[in-house]
């Protein structure tokens, strides 16, 4: 994808979003965007009942739609304490046949609306034996072994610098607020390093041993490319993984997507409890 066409496509999506949001003035200037991972769609109910606006991904130009169960594929915009929040309910993955530039296009379009901070969530396999299914893990760092980078190709200077700094990609101030919100909610919150693979197959036992030796606490197939484009745009990042299963080489049997979805509903309640305290502070 050429640099000019990428910028044009992002701006086309941003313009469509602006037009739709203008119909509801209370929603016109969101500063926080959220991306919901597998099975976490219930988080949408944290928004105030009214006003709300829903836009299917398929209604937006250039935006791919997900074919994976648990990813609704719609933009939901509402308010939290009167402040607008934009939720990308459902994530399109590169393993569905798209490039990282394509699957981050919608998120990058939200940045053109004035988004200052982004909260990313995902379902992940726990590699650290100290984690258990149902745990929530605050991302402190990541390792990109997906084989792609969404910034590959000619840089679009209007979107960010050629070489964005990633040393401290996760915002410390937002993380502190998340810890405080978890404490008020009475929900244990872990922390660790997230490693991204391309998927869609789960890891072999040998791969799990290798990835753990790299320093990974959890493994998944998303999020890192979203962090990269957010930091490229100067947007602050907070990210939380729901540990849906263990990804340790001593597993008695293999994992399934159904297992991920089932644990997603359990973890969603815990995440919702934290976000009920956190969102009013960061929206």
Candidates 71, 100, 142, 225; catalytic one: 71
Binned at pLDDT 50, 70 and 90, residue 260 comes out as low
Is 222 known to be catalytic? yes
Is 265 known to be catalytic? no
Is 57 known to be catalytic? no
Beta carbons of 271 and 40 less than 8 angstroms apart: yes
Residue 156 confidence (pLDDT):
87
Candidates 14, 38, 169, 181; catalytic one: 38
Distance CA 174, CA 204 (A): 35
Beta carbons of 202 and 126 less than 8 angstroms apart: no
Q: What is the chain's length?
A: 283
CA 28 to chain centre: 22
Is 245 known to be catalytic? yes
Candidates 31, 65, 98, 257; catalytic one: 257
Residue 254 confidence (pLDDT):
59
Is 95 known to be catalytic? yes
Candidates 94, 101, 123, 216; catalytic one: 123
Q: Where are the domains of the chain?
A: 3-282
Give 3-282's CATH code, choosing from 3.40.50.300, 1.10.1660.10, 1.10.10.60, 3.40.50.1580.
3.40.50.1580
What mean pLDDT do residues 186-201 have? 97
Is 241 known to be catalytic? no
Is 100 known to be catalytic? no
Candidates 11, 12, 26, 96; catalytic one: 96
Q: What is the pLDDT of residues 226-244, one digit of tens each?
A: 999 999 999 999 999 999 8
Candidates 222, 226, 246, 263; catalytic one: 222
Q: How far are the Cα atoms of 15, 136, 260, 261 from residue 202, in angstroms, in the given order?
A: 38, 20, 12, 15
Residue 71 confidence (pLDDT):
47
User: Chain-wide mean pLDDT for the chain?
Assistant: 91
Binned at pLDDT 50, 70 and 90, residue 3 comes out as very low
Is 71 known to be catalytic? yes
Q: Is the pLDDT of residue 259 over 70?
A: no
| Long-range pairs, 80-83, Cβ under 8 A, ≥24 | 80/46, 80/47, 80/48, 80/279, 80/280, 80/283, 81/48, 81/279, 81/280, 81/283, 82/26, 82/48, 83/31, 83/32, 83/280, 83/283
Binned at pLDDT 50, 70 and 90, residue 42 comes out as confident
What mean pLDDT do residues 90-96 have? 91
Which residues are within 8 A (CB) of 265 and not within 5 positions of it... i.e. 6 or more apart?
A: 39, 42
Candidates 86, 93, 241, 247; catalytic one: 93
Binned at pLDDT 50, 70 and 90, residue 256 comes out as low
């Amino acid at each position: 994808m050429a640099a000019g066409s990428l910028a044009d496509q992002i701006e086309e999506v941003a313009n469509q979003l602006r037009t739709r949001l203008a119909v509801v003035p209370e929603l016109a200037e969101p500063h926080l965007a959220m991306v919901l991972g597998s099975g976490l769609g219930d988080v949408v109910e944290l928004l105030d009942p009214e006003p709300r606006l829903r836009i299917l991904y398929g209604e937006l130009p250039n935006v791919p739609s997900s074919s994976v169960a648990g990813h609704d594929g719609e933009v939901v915009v509402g308010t939290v304490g009167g402040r607008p929040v934009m939720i990308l309910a459902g994530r399109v993955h590169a393993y569905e046949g798209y490039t990282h530039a394509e699957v981050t296009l919608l998120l990058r379009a939200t940045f053109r609306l004035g988004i200052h901070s982004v909260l990313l969530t995902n379902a992940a396999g726990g590699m650290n034996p100290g984690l258990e299914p149902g745990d929530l893990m605050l991302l402190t760092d990541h390792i990109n072994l997906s084989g792609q980078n969404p910034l590959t190709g000619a840089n679009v200077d209007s979107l960010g610098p050629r070489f964005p700094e990633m040393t401290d990609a996760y915002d410390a101030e937002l993380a502190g607020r998340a810890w405080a919100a978890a404490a008020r909610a009475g929900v244990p919150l872990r922390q660790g390093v997230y490693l991204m693979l391309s998927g869609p197959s789960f890891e072999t036992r040998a791969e799990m041993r290798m990835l753990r030796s790299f320093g990974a606490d959890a493994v998944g197939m998303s999020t890192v490319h979203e962090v990269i484009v957010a930091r490229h745009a100067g947007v602050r990042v907070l990210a939380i993984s729901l540990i849906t299963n263990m990804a340790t080489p001593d597993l008695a049997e293999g994992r399934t997507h159904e297992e991920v979805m089932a644990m997603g509903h359990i973890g969603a309640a815990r995440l919702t409890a934290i976000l009920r305290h956190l969102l009013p502070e960061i929206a």
